[in-house]
Amino acid sequence: MKSVEVVVVGAGVVGLSVALAAQARGLSVRVIDRKGICAGASAGNAGAFAFTDILPLASPRVIRQAPKWLLDPLGPLSVPPRYALNIAPWMLRFWRASWPAQVRASTIAQTGLMALSKAALQPFLAAHGLSSMLRHDGQLQVYEGQAEFDASLPSWTLRAKAGIPFEHLTGDAIADRQPGLDARFTHATFTPEWYSIADPKDYTEALAAQFCANGGEVVITEATHLLADGVDTALGAMRGRVVLAAGAFSHHLARTAGVKIPLETERGYNTTLPLGAADLRCQVTFGGHGFVISKLSSGIRVGGAVELGGLKLPPNYARADAMLTKAKRFMPSLDTSGGVQWMGFRPSLPDSLPALGPLPGQPNTICAFGHGHLGLTQSAGTAQIIADLLTGKTPDIDLTPFAPARF
């Protein structure tokens, strides 16, 4: 196998975006993955570039709502009893990350990464001939009654300070944006700069095709140990600088270098219905219920929620069924027949920020994982940052809040 300068571990949207960006800087790159191109969470997400999501999941609001959510095993947030002890240390870190000072710091850091990712996206797509896959339909966040809407207003104040445009709607203005919603949704907020991709699986596969057309290679093999000058794999050692972008499996590889990073798995569920299932004008977010409905070139996708259940427990597709049942109630014209269910692993760190930068004690390994729900959203920005680090350029944002050593 030929020698390369960079080995990217992970063939999801983040790993392949990094590989293309590094390749564009003149570096020779190989991508390895235990299962192949787009075999994980990159295939089944909602397809959104959620640049308006600057607020961390760890927040006082979520802490207040968590007890009620946890009482419902099929609700927006669940912890399977068999995994409760495993997740307890991570939950303690999550609670600490929800303290006001930490939330402010995380919001500032996330806002910077979002701005960079948004600025990087369209040039990245244009450079690789993928601009036609980007959509500008916006997003509609809906609320059941005045109280739920009022509770959301502080978050919109923070977004306004960050320069994010939005429009609050009531009555007929909601129906004009998205016909067919149940009358319980009395208020809504439309965010016009919420972009989406035609289909996340098709997009990630297109990144891989472009990378290979440029002379890169994708190798299916499992990375087993990090080395001082590369990574050991089932096919033998591969030398070069390593970019660790293996999603929810990244922390296991980090441990082979003696580094413990508190990465956990948010198991996400969805059902993809045939394209004619709904007259969907934009992505609709049911924030109080933790799921979205989005229109992709492959169908209408109903999914979301958070199940903190690790990597080994069997899927609980009753969660996907519950979201689909609610979606039918919230959008009565939705045809829920003929759907295909999916479950994937979102890699999440307790402060809602990804790990970006050198692995502690292992300067030849650069981390690019832990984006949670925002891997697609932050993929182009992450690619630019990691390519900067690989070529000795100072990134455009301060990476201190994202440093893997922060834990």
Instruction: Give buried/exposed letters for 330-357 (b at 16+ CB in 10 A, else e).
Output: bbeebebeebebbbbbbbbbbbbbbbbb
Q: Which two tokens stand for residue 266?
A: 């948010």
Q: Which two tokens stand for residue 85?
A: 């002890």
Please tell me the predicted confidence (pLDDT) of residue 64. 84
Alpha helices in 283-372 (DSSP H): 318-330
Distance CA 78, CA 371 (A): 20
Please tell me the predicted confidence (pLDDT) of residue 354. 98
What topology is assigned to 6-43+201-262+352-406 in CATH?
Answer: FAD/NAD(P)-binding domain (3.50.50)
Please tell me the predicted confidence (pLDDT) of residue 67. 80
- Listed by start position, the domains of the chain span 6-43+201-262+352-406, 54-98+135-194+263-348
Please tell me the predicted confidence (pLDDT) of residue 72. 81
As assigned by CATH, the class of the 54-98+135-194+263-348 domain is: alpha beta
Tell me the per-residue pLDDT of 270-286, one tens digit each, with 9 for 90 and over.
Answer: 999 999 999 999 999 99
Return the closest-CA partner of residue 59 out of 105, 110, 103, 108: 103
Please tell me the predicted confidence (pLDDT) of residue 73. 80
Per-residue pLDDT of the chain (407 residues; tens, 9 = 90+): 789 999 999 999 999 999 999 999 999 999 999 999 999 899 999 999 999 999 998 888 888 888 888 778 888 889 999 999 999 999 999 999 999 999 999 999 999 999 999 999 999 999 999 999 999 999 999 999 999 999 999 999 999 999 999 999 999 999 999 999 999 999 999 999 999 999 999 999 999 999 999 999 999 999 999 999 999 999 999 999 999 999 999 999 999 999 999 999 999 999 999 999 999 999 999 999 999 999 999 999 999 988 999 999 999 999 999 999 999 999 999 999 999 999 999 999 999 999 999 999 999 999 999 999 999 999 999 999 999 999 999 999 999 999 999 99
Please tell me the predicted confidence (pLDDT) of residue 59. 86
Tabulate helix, strand, coil % of the chain (nearest 5): 40, 25, 35
Contacts of 224 (CB under 8 A, 6+ apart): 232, 233, 234, 256
**DSSP letter string over 40-106?**
SGGGTS--EE-TT--S-SSSHHHHHHHHHHHTSTTSSEE--GGGHHHHHHHHHHHHHHTSHHHHHHH
pTM, entire model: 0.96
Asked if 179 and 216 touch (Cβ cutoff 8 Å), the reply is no
Distance CA 166, CA 338 (A): 35
Distance CA 135, CA 342 (A): 23
**SS3 of 173, please?**
helix
